[in-house]
Amino acid sequence: RLREGKVYVSDQAARALEKFFRKGNLTALREIALRRTAERVEDQMLHYMRTQSIPGPWPAGDRIMVCISSHPLGERLVRVGRRLADDLNAEWFVVFVETPGHLHMPAQNRLRIQQNLHLAEELGAKVVHITSESVPEAVIDFARRHNITKIVAGKPFRPRWFELLRGTVIDQIIRGSGSIDVYVVSEGSESAHQPAPGLLSDAVTPHKPFSRYLGSLGLVLLATIIGFPLNAILAPTNLVMLYLVAVVLSAVFLGRGPAILASFVSVLAFDFFFIDPRLTFTVYDTQYILTFIGLLIVGVIISNSAAILRDQMDALRRKEQQTRALNELSRELTAAISLDQVLNTVIQHVSEMFSREAVILLPESGRLAVKASTAGFTLNETEFAVADWAFKHGKETGRGTTTLPAATIRTFPLRTARETVGVLGTKPLDLQDFLTGEQRFMMEGVVNLAAIAIERASFAEKAAQAEMLRKTEKLQTALLNSISHELRTPLATITGVLTSLEESEMAQPENQFDAATRLELIRSATQQAGRLNHLVGNLLDMTRLEAGAMKLNREPVDLQDLVATVKGQVAGESYPHKLTVEIPGHLPLINMDAVLIAQVLINLLDNASKYSTPGDPITITARTAGKQVEVAVKDCGMGIPPEDLDRIFDKFYRVQRQEATAGTGLGLSICRGIVEAHGGRIWAENNPGNGVTVTFTLPAPEREGQQHG
């Protein structure tokens, strides 16, 4: 098809045959296609098994599951599973089952679990964390649901009597495995006699403070004390219930170990104090032996059941707290608008949820920079290097991992589907405090939420910047159009006048302009030249204001004289309005730059003239207001929409009107810059009838009594 030109045209087909469609590339593409097809078929088979409730496994292809716990044999199991997966070219899982008893696991064991899980991820396994009451049931259930064909598990050394008494987890897995192959990796002889927590044990015996056992003995003593007055009215067998209550209370509030101790001590106390002969352990009536055995068995069963229920409630409570914390974090991140809000929210929640100091680093100018952290938490050069490695390689690094484990911090790359957007670093208050399995997977949830929120906030900022750039470009285009129009109009008039005068001078005497016509043309050119000079002056003033190059030449100025001068410049014969000045004679001299304030008044008068009907009056007023002098320019024009009153002083902003009015939108912005440079303020307000009043203030002199005489 390629040679026939059905894929590319002839020239492109020749290049494609030479550079891309070679045998090696086609073979690689075929392998990728077959692998993808196999994965898709496997997904379809799993879906069919679930919908049809087929228990499995269906050994269409090998899938391997490695079961680990906190036992030192876990690392060896992971490596054995990797070699087996490579030999069989099979997908493999590493599963850790956490039971309620793992809550009190020593920090060293938690660290070992994290290192083994991290090693499994690096070797390409899919790591799965399961919370369950029974390890064998969880393992078998996962294997059947995921069509596992081979299970790799370890068998640590145990005394024979211990295995006969309690059994082993691996035996239970083998019994329930059915057609699933189970590979047992035994513990090496070098560690056979070292005490270690049981591999895949369904509970880790937590350390119980001695006070809990004293508490269980206290409950048995309390039951005995209560039993003394009741012994006269109740049969001895009924007093057994008091001790059962003590056993239940011990199991619920103190744990399994204290409850079992309470069971044994209850039997002894019941025999010693309430069974004849009393105050001895001798039993004459052999029927009570069955009572003792029943009390002991029931007490042990109740203690185990109550302890399991207590552990389940603790596990549910922790799950509920974790879910609530993640929901709250998700809600706050959704409500966060800016990137700073997102970062501070993540730092706050990580610190509260994990009791750790936290820091977030984001790329900036080609390197990582700290953007948010808990108060007082800083990174040294080594910790920066750890974070940089995590960012570049996209893997967890630092304490509790197999990469740079000597570091004091642990870093988590903030990865999204697109890229790594940053790094989250955590440092426990106690360096021996390692994350548990639940905490690690909860941290993964926090990291994923944080990464998505940071990416969203970054996109929002980029979108805002793009929108601002678009508006700026639009504004620049409008400005160039406006300025070009404002420049072109007076230049065209001046050019037309000069051209007409030139043609008149070159014409015959009878065709030349008379003196009145020439004077009218010259006045028109002069007026347009003044307009052009005013526009260029505004542009230069705006440039100086933005650059901070405008310096004030303050000196005491009589406001009446200044306004009179401005009136003389503006209100000539061609000025189409009646200009009225209402300034009292007792105003003090004001320290100002007379030239710049005159420019403010000229701009305000020019603006009032543009938006007023010819012949309407314009008034300039002034009065003292506390420690300031207010100067106002009032017109009787068309007014300003209320929503635009605060925006008319923005640079290049012009009120949208049906009538086109000349201007660039710079005059009022320049007025605001000059007035604020003097320490005053400027604002506009509509008059009750019609028109607008623009008012600005100037600081009055500190010394009173200096008045114009």
Q: Is the pLDDT of residue 708 over 50?
A: no
Cross-strand pairs, 628: 625, 699
* Whole-number pLDDT of residue 66: 94
Q: Is the pLDDT of residue 417 over 50?
A: yes
* Side-chain-side CA neighbours of residue 170 (13 Å): 22
pLDDT at 665: 67
Query: How far is it, in rounded angstroms, from Cα 172 to Cα 155?
Result: 12
Q: What percent of the chain lies above the pLDDT cut of 90?
A: 18
Mean pLDDT of 417-425: 92
Average model confidence (pLDDT) across the chain: 80
- Token pair recorded at residue 354: 């994990």
Residue 79's nearest CA partner among 35, 115, 105, 39 is: 115
Give the model's pLDDT for residue 19: 66
Instruction: Tell me what pLDDT residue 695 has.
Output: 94
How far apart CA 197 and CA 72 sit, in angstroms, is 9
What is the Cα–Cα distance from 438 to 110, expressed in whole angstroms?
11
Residue 3's pLDDT band (boundaries 50, 70, 90)? low
Q: Determine the Cα–Cα distance for residues 354 and 322; give it in Å rounded to an integer.
A: 11
Element (H, E) at 591: strand 590-592
Tell me the pLDDT band of 295, cut-offs 50, 70 and 90: confident
Confidence of residue 692 (pLDDT cuts 50, 70, 90): very high
Q: Write the CA distances from 705 to 240, 562, 624, integer angstroms.
A: 104, 20, 13
Angstrom distance (rounded) from CA 357 to CA 283:
63
pLDDT number for residue 208: 46
Q: What would the two tokens of residue 331 be?
A: 């809600």
pLDDT at 220: 86
What is the structure's pLDDT at 230? 84
For the segment 580-586, the average pLDDT, to the nearest whole number, is 88
The predicted model gives 557-561 an average pLDDT of 91
Q: Mind listing the pLDDT tens digit for each residue in 446-501? A: 999 999 999 999 898 888 888 877 876 775 665 566 566 667 777 888 888 888 88
Tell me: pLDDT of 396 over 60.
yes
**What integer is the mean pLDDT of 262-273?**
82
Give the pLDDT of residue 411: 93
- φ, ψ (nearest 5 deg) of residue 588: -75, 165
Query: Is the model's pLDDT at 20 over the cut of 80?
Result: no
Residue in 213, 211, 209, 210 with CA at minimum distance from that of residue 263: 213
Contact assessment for residue 102 and residue 133, using Cβ atoms and an 8 Å cutoff: no
Phi and psi, residue 556, nearest 5°: -60, 125
CA distance 526 to 513: 18
On the question of pLDDT at 294 being above 90, the answer is no
pLDDT at 161 over 80: no
Spatial separation of the C-alpha atoms in residues 349 and 653, rounded to whole Å: 44
**CA–CA dist 138, 132 (Å, integer):** 6
- Please give the distance of CA 221 from its chain centroid, rounded to a whole number: 56
- When pLDDT is cut at 50, 70 and 90, the band that residue 17 belongs to is low
pLDDT band at 420 (very low <50, low <70, confident <90, very high): very high
pLDDT band at 424 (very low <50, low <70, confident <90, very high): very high
pLDDT digit string, tens, across residues 599-644:
889 889 988 888 888 888 999 999 998 889 999 999 988 888 888 8
Across 646-653, average pLDDT: 76
Q: Is the pLDDT of residue 195 over 50?
A: no
Distance CA 242, CA 240 (A): 5
User: What's the chain's Rg over C-alpha atoms?
Assistant: 45
Task: Tell me whether strands 150-155 and 63-68 are parallel, antiparallel or unpaired.
Answer: parallel
pLDDT tens digits along 53-111: 666 666 667 889 999 988 888 899 999 999 999 888 888 999 998 887 666 677 778 88
Q: What is the DSSP string of 634-677?
A: E--S----GGGTTTTTSTT-----SS-----S-HHHHHHHHHHH
For 179, the 3-state DSSP assignment is coil
SS3 (DSSP) at 192: coil
Q: What is the pLDDT of residue 521?
A: 85
Could you give phi then psi for residue 56, rounded to 5 degrees? 75, 180
Which amino acid is located at 656 in the chain?
A: Q
The predicted model gives 379-402 an average pLDDT of 89
Q: How many CB atoms are closer than 10 A to CB 352?
A: 13
Query: Where is pLDDT greater, at 653 or 363?
Result: 363
Tens digits of residue pLDDT in 307-349: 777 777 777 777 788 888 888 989 999 988 889 999 999 999 9
Assign 290 a pLDDT band (cuts: 50, 70, 90): confident
Tokens at 497, concatenated: 């006048």
Give percent above pLDDT 70 in the chain. 82
What span, in angstroms and rounded, lies between the C-alpha atoms of 361 and 422? 6
Average of pLDDT values for 193-220?
A: 58
User: How many secondary structure helices (H) and strands (E) does the chain include?
Assistant: 18, 17
Per-residue confidence at 661, pLDDT binned at 50, 70, 90? low
Summarised one tens digit per residue, pLDDT across range 531-552 is: 777 667 766 665 665 556 567 7
